[in-house]
Amino acid sequence: MTSYCPHCGWPDAQPYEVVSRHATTQGQTVWTRCACGSLQVRTVGQSDGAQDTGVRIVSRGRPATVGQVRRPSQEPCGSVRREP
C-alpha cells in the first residue's frame, strides 16, 4: 500500500529531501523533509544484503508556515496526481 503526506499528497516512498542519516544498532534513523516542508523521522532496518528493508515513518511534523512553504520543482517520478 502506498502512503502519502497528509498535508500535501507527496508520496512517502519518494522523500523530497534527505536532511540527515544516522547509523543505529538496528539500521538507520533518517530525517527527511517533504515537499510541503514537514519533517519526517524514519527508521530503516538493515537486511543481511546491501538493501534497506523495513522503512517506517515514526514521526511527522507539520508543514512550514505559509511564508516558508516549499513548492516541488517537479512531480515525483511515476506519480499520479492526487486531488486533496
Can you give the pLDDT at residue 39? Answer: 92
Tell me how far apart the 2 most distant CA atoms of the chain are, in Å. Answer: 45
- Can you give the pLDDT at residue 33? 92
Mean pLDDT by 10 residues, the chain (84 residues): 83 90 90 91 76 77 67 57 54
